[in-house]
Amino acid sequence: MELILIRHGRPERIDFDPDGANPALTELGHRQAKAMATFLAPESIDALYVSPQQRAIDTASPLAEVTGLAPTIVEGIAEFDLGHTSYVPGEESGPLSDSDLKQLIDGLTADSFVSRVRTSIKTIIEQHPGETVAAVCHGGVISTVLADIMGLDGMNYFDSHYTSVTRIKASRDGRQSMASFNECHWLRDVQ
């Protein structure tokens, strides 16, 4: 089967929300999502999964429209920051302090995060033999999947662009390979 992992579009900044920061897409993020959906429209996608976080749901919406698929929410492909009280897009945060970097690495390598991502991806793969499936998720989720395929630890981070596509070939017996990473040529004209 082919698993198409799609990173969400450009999200809004939320400096503080006591109920948990759950940003929607910016106008740019919506344009990125539409461009990605247009790119993927000719492909035969059999199922569409999405993280429960708003930035992923917003990104999946144009793809759901062009494919006619109803997105299935999968809690396990949420980003490690689920429930955090703030969200600052990386390009707005500037250089990370040592403590910020440690917090980021700790989140990406936490056993609970890595385990839920692995379990969710495995379940998606097992449910769709021979099919093509899209999953709209997050950079940390994509990085975790790639680190597993390459046999690397979570200290290695693969930086994917907003609405980029990463293609994984997988079988139910556990074999996986990366077919592509960070496809995003449709973003050249998106401003």
Q: Which two tokens stand for residue 85?
A: 């009280």
Q: What are phi and psi of 31, to 5 degrees?
A: -65, -40
Q: Which two tokens stand for residue 141?
A: 């989720």
Q: Are strands 2-7 and 132-137 parallel, antiparallel or unpaired?
A: parallel
Whole-number CA gyration radius for the chain: 16
DSSP annotation of 47 reads E
Per residue in 129-174, pLDDT (tens digit) is 999 999 999 999 999 999 999 999 877 889 999 999 999 999 888 8
DSSP calls for 79-125 = -TTTT-S-B--HHHH-SPPHHHHHHHHHHHH-HHHHHHHHHHHHHHH
Domain carrying residue 68: 2-187
What is the rounded distance in angstroms from the CA atom of residue 96 to the CA atom of residue 98? 6
- Helix runs in the chain, H state only: 27-40, 54-67, 90-93, 98-109, 111-127, 139-150
Pick from 95, 114, 116, 96: nearest CA to 104: 96
Q: Where are the beta strands (DSSP E) in 150-190?
A: 165-170, 176-183
pLDDT at 94: 83
Per residue in 3-39, pLDDT (tens digit) is 999 999 999 999 999 999 999 999 999 999 999 999 9
pTM metric for this prediction:
0.97
* Start-to-end CA span in the chain (Å): 34
Confidence grade of residue 97 (pLDDT, cut at 50, 70, 90):
confident
DSSP annotation of 12 reads P
Domain of 161, CATH number, reads 3.40.50.1240
Count: domains in the chain: 1
Q: For residues 171 and 183, is the Cβ–Cβ distance under 8 A?
A: no
12: burial class by Cβ within 10 Å (0-12, 13-18, 19+)?
Answer: middle
Q: For residues 13 and 23, is the Cβ–Cβ distance under 8 A?
A: yes
pLDDT at 55: 98
pLDDT at 190 over 80: yes
